[in-house]
Structure formats: C-alpha cells, structure tokens
Structure 1
Amino acid sequence: MTARLARLLTEIAAPWTVNIASCLILGWSIGHPGWGAFVALFTGVLPMLLIVGGIVQQRFGNHHVTEHSERHGLILAILALVLVALVVQLLASAPSQMIALTCAGLATLGAIAVWTSIVHVKASVHMAVWCGVVAILAVALGPWWWLALALAPAIAWSRIYLGHHTIGQIVVGASTGLVIAPLVYLLVA
C-alpha cells in the first residue's frame, strides 16, 4: 500500500502532467485557453513523447528518467522545445502571462541543466516543477495557490521512498523552482 501511494504521488506530480495542468489553468484564467494548450504541448506533451521515444530506443530506463547519466541530452532537447515555443509566442504576440510562464519554465529547466551537467547533482525535477508552478500560479492568479505547497512534502516523500532522490536532491529541486520560476515570471510579465 505504501509503495502504491508513493508511485501514485510521483505520477500525479510528474513534471509533464504538472506543466500541462498549469499551462491550461493559466491560459484559461487569463482568457487565452488556446495559448495555454500551445504551451502545454511544448512543455508537457512533446517532452513526454521524447521520453517515450527514448524508452522505446532503450536510451532511458523509465519514464521518470531516474538515471542521472540519461538526463543530459534529454534536458537539452526539452530546452530546445521550450525555446521554440517561446519564439513562436514572441512572433505571434502571445499574452505576456503565457510568455512569462514559458520564460520561467525555460529558466528553471536551465538551472536544472546546470545542476545536472555542471554541478553533477541530480536535482529533483518533480520538486522544481511542482514548487515553481505553485509559486507562479500564486503570483499570477492569487495567494490561495500557495496552499498547494502543502503537497510538496508528500511528493518529496514519494521520490525519496521510491529511491529516485535523496533529501539533498529534493531540496535543490524545490528551492530552484521556488526561487527561479516566480522571479522570472514577475520580471517578464
């Protein structure tokens, strides 16, 4: 039962699902659901398709890409996808809130890339995305979104319980998301 709960929390808080949900929530909330869906495609759907393709080609061991050495190229590929989304948004004069969300995601993922490939720390992307998205939604839509941080300890527990991260890796991911995502969102929006 405990392992099942840990796996459920890990799946619910997977970066691709959280990215899709946050893009759709923000897009709908600002009256631009189409832009929300567009950003969700590039930050959630397409990254997961890259991962599934990598699993099929046996480059990744699982859909959470838990092996540190498998993350380097994947992060660069996802950064490229998000950059394409940002360029399209800029060229098409997308709403500033959606551009800010994309920039915040790009900056957070860039920081995770530094942790992963330069510092050699396997920062928790689950925690970076969850905490960053909660902070952005709180800044963009209202402070009641901060309440979603109450789920962060449970998500952290699931990642540690499943053996995917250490406490230090959880802290690095969570703090990266909490600091970088809302700061960049506020600077751009």
Structure 2
Amino acid sequence: MAQAITEVLQPAVWAAAMPVVVAVLAARTVPAGLGWGALAALFTAVVPFGAILYAKRTGRVTDHHISRREQRRGVLLVGIASVAVGLALFVALGAPRPLIAVIAVMLAVLAGTTAVNQVWKMSAHTAVSAGACTVLVLLVGPALAVGVLVVALIGWSRVHLGAHTVAQVLAGAVSGTVLAAGFYLAVV
C-alpha cells in the first residue's frame, strides 16, 4: 500500500495535474482551461520527469524518485529551468493569473526543495503535495483543507518505505505549505 501511494501521488503527478485543475477553474471556458493546463503541464511535469527518466536510463540516477540525495542536483536543475521557462512564457502569453501563480508556486517549491537537498534529504513528495493542497485551499476554499490528510498519507508512505525520516517528511510539508501560500498570494 505504501509503495502504491508513493507512486500514485508522486511529485510528477501533482505537477501534471495542478496546472490543468487550476487552469480549468480559472479560464473563461473549460476547453481554454484544458489547453492552458496541458501546455503548462509540458513545462511543469513532462520535461522535468522526462529528464529524470533520461537520467535513470543513462545511469545518472538510480531510480525515478532520485532516492540518493547526491544524485538530485542535475535533474532538479533541469526541472527548475523548465518551470522557469514555462512561467516566463505564460506571463508573456497573458495566461490566467491563478495559473501563473501556481506555476510560480511550483518553481518556488522546486527551487526550495533543490536547495535544501544539497545538504539534507527533505521530502519532495510532501513538499509538492502540501504546496498543491495549499493552492487548492486558497483557490477553492477551506473545504479542501482535508487535503492535509492526503499529505499525511504520503508522508506515512515515505517513512514506511524508509525513504525519509519523520523530520524530512515534516520539513517538506511545512516548506511546501509556506512557499505555496507566500508565492500564490503574492502573484494572484
């Protein structure tokens, strides 16, 4: 069960889903939202996860979760570059403001996680999921605060699998929440 949770709710899934959800909620029409969201997911999920898979195939990382902290820098920097390019493009194209805000959140959480992971293995799983849940609460309302249960479940799975300590999971959740709230509110 822990392995399934880790796979189904991994950062790449959140990075693909969040732009689509936010764009559909923010755009004038559902088709427009789907278009904006799909394009955003290219920069926030497809390119970054593609870099991870390429690094795995070429032996630069041992697994798609980049379990070894010292292997994280290169692929995470590719992810940061991709999200930054996407953010600049969406600003230039005049994308819906909440979509621009969620991409800015993704960039902040990814950059923060990357920085911390240079010295300590903070959980990207909980940072990304907590950031996504925070954005959903700010965008839709407090009813979505139940997302904290999803973040807790992800944290449990990471600890249960021996991928992180409780402190690493909690640090990820707190940093994801703080960065998401700050950047989302500053941009939107």
* Cα shift at 1:33: 2.1
Partner SS, residue 59 of structure 2: coil
Deviation larger for 31-40 or 159-168: 31-40
Question: What residue number does 2:7 align with?
Answer: 11
Q: Is the 8 A contact 2:136 2:144 kept in 1?
A: yes
Q: Which residue of 2 aligns with 1:110?
A: 111
Amino acid of the structure 2 residue aligned with 1:147: V
- What one-letter code is carried by the residue in structure 2 that aligns with 1:16? A
- The equivalences for 1:1-189 within 5 A come to 5-31=1-27, 32-117=33-118, 120-189=119-188
Question: Any stretches of 5+ residues in structure 1 without a counterpart?
Answer: none
Structure 2 counterpart SS, 1:65: coil
| Greater alpha carbon shift after TM alignment, 6-15 vs 105-114 | 105-114
Structure 1 runs of 4+ aligned residues shifted over 3 Å read none
Q: Which amino acid in structure 2 is aligned with residue 159 of structure 1?
A: R
Q: Give the Cα separation in 1 of the matches to 2:83 and 2:177.
A: 19
Partner secondary structure for residue 62 of structure 1: coil
Aligned partners of 2:5 and 2:81: how far apart in 1?
28
Measure the CA separation in 1 of the matches of 2:44 and 2:162.
26
TM-score of the aligned structures, taking structure 2 as reference length: 0.94
Aligned Cα root-mean-square deviation (Å): 1.0
CA distance in 2 between counterparts of 1:121 and 1:187 reads: 28
Deviations 1:114-152 (A, max 9, x none): 2112xx111100000000000001101222221111122
CA distance in 2, matches of 1:41, 1:145: 26
Counterpart code for 1:6 = A
Amino acid in structure 2 at the alignment position of 1:126: H
In structure 1, what is the Cα distance between the partners aligned to 2:170 and 2:62?
24
Structure 2: 5+ residue runs without aligned partners? 28-32
Query: Structure 1-normalised TM-score?
Result: 0.93
Identity %: 32
